[in-house]
Chain A
């Protein structure tokens, strides 16, 4: 842990849109149903998706959902920094909840899990960043 204060690079905080419409809409009903269940759990029980700025939310969604996908697929997860470890903590909780509440996910092959989690990630980015009505997400300072 560094005890020397670093200055933020605000240029990295510029809002970069990814989705211009709901990415879930183009998927089949079964995928929509499954992603809806996974999304609902996050929105009701988690807080990590709601950091106050858009660039932060992008990192949170990618970090936590990426590691959750690895855990669901039984892959090893590397946590080289404290920040990565923090993503992993939330991912472990999500992995456990999904396995308990949605047992169908454990019956899917790894490539389907990856695909499903990729769609969930896109949906979360849409819901909390690109499609969000929150006008503070593009502010560049905390």
Chain B
């Protein structure tokens, strides 16, 4: 096993089994770090807790819901507005967050009364919102508050409201991933099958594991609607509580983030016979293949091909403009979980960069299997890294840019490595054909920003050149490129709008006839003939 031991972690020898370097001829039977285990004492993890995973990642993107944390106010503060899962209802779920504000006296005397009072107050404050999710936290789990009993009591008193209880306190798993699991299973156990939907198409999907980061869901849903597909629910970005109660009526589950939402897909397959189709919304080829697969499943591949042709013609020249300028740039791909495999191969193939390292904060060994498979030789793969290991890896690998979260990202900036926010994005959405170009633009802007050269000059001791002016990105990126690239009239940097999402909310879609419609027409014609 090609384990990698960090100098800084020699005092924590168990850490060695959590990092590998993919060597020549290595495969998954010889090269895989440990994963999804409790963080080793002494290692300052970058992980979130199971409550955070349940609420912050999966629960809160549901848009028409009062999300209330039963616990100290700090728990909800730390999960408020740190993601950019927008919604088409004026971002209700981002604007408002609720906590029962449990204090020491409640730990001693119980907090159930406090919870009920808070629930009633919240519904009164927002009378148009009739749905609520209550999130358990460590403190109220330890004192044994019966949240379900309180929720049942309120629902009995207020028949027009519906409440979902998410029992995933912070300690309920090694990382936020434990919370993903718990809320997936809780939702299918408590809510799926409790409401019947109106079916409007012959092709009905649940879009699962999609969180509408800066509009990703709306971009993808646009493609589906253009194909005449009814998106019954999205689990959970921009998703509606009641739509998600009807998941059992879909014909197909289209799964985007297998890390956070495969559980509900697998259970829907097991319990209701709805198949699971894994897709990739990132990258031209993976996205095109994904649309084709959905088209194939429903027998409407021609509709997928029409979209692929139109979008590729529009955006390929702009992607290629960036690809020409990003050739060989070294990338550390250090996201939370799924993006290490969503992006690892696609950014190398379609943007020309080289992934020198992947890591995952809360991923499982399954995520590393995908990520390592999609990387080339020499890639360093790290599970649940700590800050010192991150710094040591940056020093060793000398990447041109890293894609990661805010905490390690800010740390990287201090050592002169530009970072892009892999969780919430810089200027997303990054899904879709246009989104992929926006991602390439953000990478380009990060890699070639002149600020990184300026920031590394110490005016207290370094000599400041006075014979050179300020350089621009283009001066840096184009200096060694051939004239057929720099002077190309076909290739172009991004020409889309600042906001690529809002216009989708008022768009109208083609009205595809349904199979039942044809039967109705025949019946009407036959009646006419008989008359």
Contact = CB atoms under 8 A, between A and B. Distances in A.
A37 interface: no
- Main secondary structure, interface of B, reads helix
A93 B373 CA distance: 19
B325 interface: no
Contact of B293 (A89, A133, A134): A89
A98 interface: no
B24 interface: no
Contacts of A89: 277, 293, 296-297
Interface in B270-321: 270-278, 280, 285-286, 289, 292-293, 296-297
Given A44-B373, A86-B297, A1 B272 contact: yes
A118 interface: no
A7 B366 CA distance: 25
Given A45-B345, A47-B370, A135-B365, A2 B273 contact: yes
B174 to A, nearest CB: 12
B5 interface: no
A131 B29 contact: yes
Nearest to B31: A133
B266 A142 contact: yes
A3 B192 CA distance: 10
Nearest to A6: B271
B364 interface: yes
Interface stretch (A26-34, A50-58, A66-74, A109-117): A50-58
A48 B364 CA distance: 16
B29 A132 contact: yes
A82 B272 CA distance: 11
Given A52-B364, A127-B27, A81 B273 contact: yes
A43 B32 CA distance: 15
Interface string A66-104: 000000000000000111011011101100000000000
Nearest to B271: A5
B29 A134 contact: no
Contacts of B28: 127-128, 131-134
Nearest to A22: B29
B365 A136 contact: yes
Contacts of A50: 258, 366, 369-370
A5 B272 contact: yes
A45 to B, nearest CB: 7
A93 B292 contact: yes
Interface string A1-32: 11111111000000000000010000000000
A82 B252 contact: yes
Given A43-B374, A89-B293, A89-B296, A142 B366 contact: no
Nearest to B27: A127
Interface string A129-141: 0011111100000
A134 B369 contact: yes
Given A89-B297, A132-B29, A44 B374 contact: yes
B293 A90 contact: yes
B366 A136 contact: yes
Contacts of A127: 27-29
B263 A142 contact: yes
A66 B84 CA distance: 42
B267 interface: yes
A115 B136 CA distance: 54
B244 to A, nearest CB: 15
A134 B273 contact: no
B267 A44 contact: no
A86 B30 CA distance: 31
B345 A44 contact: yes
Q: Max chain B CB contacts within 10 Å: which of A82, A88, A126, A133?
A: A133
Contacts of B267: 142
B272 A3 contact: yes
Q: Max chain B CB contacts within 10 Å: which of A50, A88, A93?
A: A50
A44 B286 CA distance: 11
B269 interface: yes
Contacts of B32: 132-134
Contact of B269 (A7, A83, A85): A83
Contacts of A88: 296
A47 B29 contact: no
Contact of A56 (B266, B289, B369): B266
B204 to A, nearest CB: 9
Contacts of B274: 1, 82
B249 interface: yes
B36 interface: yes
A127 B263 CA distance: 23
B241 to A, nearest CB: 19
Contacts of A134: 28, 32, 364-366, 369
B379 to A, nearest CB: 13
A84 B425 CA distance: 37
Given A1-B249, A133-B365, A136-B366, A82 B193 contact: no
A36 to B, nearest CB: 10
Interface string B218-238: 000000000000000000000
Nearest to B272: A2
Contacts of B438: none
A89 B293 CA distance: 6
Given A93-B289, A127-B29, 18 more contacts: A3-B248, A3-B249, A3-B272, A5-B271, A6-B270, A7-B271, A43-B374, A47-B280, A50-B366, A83-B275, A86-B275, A89-B277, A90-B277, A93-B292, A133-B29, A134-B364, A136-B365, A142-B185
6 contacts: A47-B341, A51-B266, A86-B275, A127-B28, A142-B263, A142-B267
Interface of A: 1-8, 22, 43-45, 47-48, 50-52, 56, 81-83, 85-86, 88-90, 92-93, 126-128, 131-136, 142
8 residue pairs, one from A and one from B, having the closest CB atoms = A86-B275, A131-B29, A47-B278, A43-B373, A5-B271, A133-B32, A134-B365, A142-B266
